[in-house]
Structure 1
Amino acid sequence: MQPVREVIIIGGGLAGLTSAIHLSKAGLHVTVIEKHSYPRHKVCGEYISNEVLPYLQWLGADPAELSPALIERVCISTVSGKKVETRLPLGGVGISRYALDAFLMGKAVNNGVNLLQDTVINISFVNEQFAIETVANGTLFAAHVIGAYGKRAALDQQLNRDFISRKSPWLAVKAHYQGPFPDGLVALHNFRGGYCGVSKIEDNIINICYLASYETFKNYKNIDDHRREVLYENPYLKEIFSNSEPLFERPLTISQISFSEKEKVDRHILMTGDTAGLIHPLCGNGMAMAISSAQLAAQQILQGQPRAILEKEYTRQWNQQFAKRMKAGSLLSSIFTHPWLSGMSMRTVVAMPALLPFIIRQTHGKPLTV
């Protein structure tokens, strides 16, 4: 029979690897199960707020080692071409998931984390112990399990999570480009039925990632037609795409992106990152939230409290740290994707520029303490 491991983390992305580094740094034996190999591109805005920088440095995983693009300003535009720009309250960095995930994986393995490339097909909890069924490694046992496997997975169906039965009207598209784009800027450009984030990452590469409603997208044969007929209505997006060369053979896409409420602890699994809840990409803060939630999960496990108290406290702290941000993100997305509301809001922000940093702060947190 397999030995009982202290912690198994399902998913080796930002949240999973961050938790693994934190827990292994504290001396726990940690196993990460990730179905894909490293490095790998992912659909992501690839911007990290500096709010998590002190924590990453404490972990020994300073992203400065990867020479990221420094980002200090943000601009927002409407379909009609109205635009406003301001400084980001904390600033951040642009770094690809291709580089960052592989970097964190290396730090985790150097800490003694056991990394398994495998697929989890079911999880059960009996007599205060988890049984994790995998394709290649049979059934593994653990005292604690952290869920960090992303936005939507077959495992969510197996666990019968509530959100999985609700259809989502969103899909996302991402690719890297080479071309002219200002240093230090993250741009959020509205288009009919969605919005697009543009910023630089390492090596002067431009990351373009956008969220589009299926209702708008389904009227076109493919991504190229949708981009030309819909995204190009915004003059800034037309200029960016027209003057940039794609570096991917084809864009990456994901569909059925759900912003529905998710349980933070489900079947006694501590859910982190997008597995616990997905903030609208308009807020540009999903990566920092994933890292922050990983810290919360690791800290609660290290407290060594009874499971019922651990789960209650993790949920409380998650809601305390993120619930208001999630609501603010949902509200901003509703406004930004509504033509009349976005136009009126932009006129208000142009007339009162100090409003934009205030709005940004509603979706970001303070620097993490360790």
Structure 2
Amino acid sequence: MENETYDCGIIGAGLAGLSAAILLSRLGYKVLVMEQKQFPMHKVCGEYVSMESYDFLENLGLPLSKMDLPMIRNVNISAPNGSMLSQELDLGGFGISRYLLDDLLAKKSVECGATLKENTKVFDVRYKDEKFEIFTNNGNFVTKLCIGSFGKYPLFSMRHIKKSINYIGVKYHIKSDRIKRDVIELHNFKDGYCGVSAIENGSACLCYLTTADNLKNHGNSIQELEKKILMKNKYLKSIFERSVFVFDRPMVISNVTFESKRPVWNNILMVGDASGSIAPLCGNGMSMAFRGAGILSELLVKFLNGQIDRKDLNKIYTEKWQDNFEKRIKVGFYLQKLFGRNILTNISISMLKYLPFISKKIIRLTHGDKF
């Protein structure tokens, strides 16, 4: 075990965890980030970021304004029957790959003074006498605070999590003259939906979510699933047929579920997907992760300065998390149930085409204000 005690240990170098590491480290706190993989790396994720977090990322030190990133101002949503809803986005967003974004954040955290330990898997965390002991394959560490930023998959034994419908996520990077730089597309198909949007270097991210049963019913063949189900949507058929696929094979994640979790578990403070599984239809899980990191970091500074105790920290963070995210997650949950059901989606998209004020309101409910 290291003799040094860190002010904060962060399990998982996700967007929220790395953002918190930057915010705390540049104030002089000793921060340890433990990541089981190694940067840079791809992640299965829709790579659209709402403008609500643009200023936040620039303030972290990411030079977004100098990167010629696609600025996305419109959304096109299609139903399986081909009905299309086009809507201007209030704030809009920008496209950037997780490969680039996560790597920039990781490098910035180290530059600010954080200790980043890659290839480090956490096996257990024990809280005793106001300290956390974190057990890993790369040694054991003692910290005053512990943040969980390990994504959708539970760490070790978190028995409060209830099982729900099991999904898979599939992602490609593509190049296509079919994709516009200023539009994010959301295409529905039986038991799933697919998002397509431009990212850096002339590429686009194509990422879809569907039930594990949908894949199983097609012999566990991604290719068969795409051919028999996704391409029944004429817009997806056009994209698949007119694109050059950058990856040799798709990136796939399984056992994806969307259920309620706790912002605080055994005094570990959860951020991002670890705090509550964020359905893609919440509008922007990445911006929610960034916002959560900002909220939590302010409270951690108060705790480390002795302004609040641990009980208050846990209570206030839970309240702020609920105020900022609970409604968005619920809206995403209900939209998740609607999308991918052929008849319901066909009817809903057809109706919303003639009720733009309602569609605008729904989109607004899934996004937040600038921070």
TM, length-normalised to structure 1: 0.95
| CA RMSD across the alignment | 1.3
User: Is structure 2 residue 214 aligned with structure 1 residue 216?
Assistant: yes
SS in 2 for 1:329: helix
2:105 is aligned with what amino acid?
A: L
1:248 is aligned with what amino acid?
A: F
User: Is structure 2 residue 309 aligned with structure 1 residue 309?
Assistant: no
- The residue number in structure 2 matching 1:287 is 286
User: Is structure 2 residue 241 aligned with structure 1 residue 242?
Assistant: yes
Q: CA separation in 2, counterparts of 1:333 and 1:73?
A: 21
Per-residue CA shift, 1:212-257, capped at 9, x if unaligned?
0122221112100000000001000000011001110111111111
- The residue number in structure 2 matching 1:296 is 295
- The residue number in structure 2 matching 1:318 is 321
1:203-282 pair list within 5 angstroms: 203-221=201-219, 222-282=221-281
Percent identical pairs in the alignment equals 38
- The residue number in structure 1 matching 2:195 is 197
Structure 1 unmatched runs, 5+: none
User: Is structure 2 residue 33 aligned with structure 1 residue 32?
Assistant: yes
TM-fit CA distance, 1:310: 0.3
TM-fit CA distance, 1:36: 1.1
Q: CA separation in 2, counterparts of 1:270 and 1:128?
A: 14
- The residue number in structure 1 matching 2:175 is 178
- The residue number in structure 1 matching 2:160 is 162
SS in 1 for 2:256: coil
TM-fit CA distance, 1:167: 5.1
SS in 2 for 1:20: helix
Structure 2 unmatched runs, 5+: none
The question of whether the paired residues in 2 share the 8 Å contact of 1:167 and 1:256 is answered with: no
The question of whether the paired residues in 1 share the 8 Å contact of 2:148 and 2:270 is answered with: yes
CA shift in 2, pair 1:65/1:122, >3 Å:
farther
* Greater Cα shift, 282-291 or 207-216: 282-291
SS in 2 for 1:74: strand
Q: CA separation in 2, counterparts of 1:350 and 1:16?
A: 39
SS in 2 for 1:351: coil
- The residue number in structure 1 matching 2:67 is 66
SS in 2 for 1:208: strand
TM, length-normalised to structure 2: 0.95
TM-fit CA distance, 1:161: 3.5
- The residue number in structure 1 matching 2:126 is 124
TM-fit CA distance, 1:24: 1.1
Selected match of 2:362 from 355, 359, 363: 359
1:50-65 pair list within 5 angstroms: 50-65=51-66
TM-fit CA distance, 1:355: 2.1
1:335 is aligned with what amino acid?
A: L
Per-residue CA shift, 1:278-334, capped at 9, x if unaligned?
221134301111111111111110112100000010010001000000111011111
User: Is structure 2 residue 146 aligned with structure 1 residue 145?
Assistant: yes
SS in 2 for 1:354: helix
SS in 2 for 1:36: coil
Q: CA separation in 1, counterparts of 2:158 and 2:344?
A: 37
The count of corresponding residues between Structure 1 and Structure 2 is 363
Q: CA separation in 1, counterparts of 2:132 and 2:282?
A: 35
Q: CA separation in 2, counterparts of 1:37 and 1:67?
A: 26
Q: CA separation in 1, counterparts of 2:256 and 2:217?
A: 19
SS in 1 for 2:141: strand
Q: CA separation in 2, counterparts of 1:194 and 1:297?
A: 33
User: Is structure 2 residue 5 aligned with structure 1 residue 7?
Assistant: no
1:362 is aligned with what amino acid?
A: L
The question of whether the paired residues in 2 share the 8 Å contact of 1:123 and 1:159 is answered with: no
The question of whether the paired residues in 2 share the 8 Å contact of 1:4 and 1:141 is answered with: yes
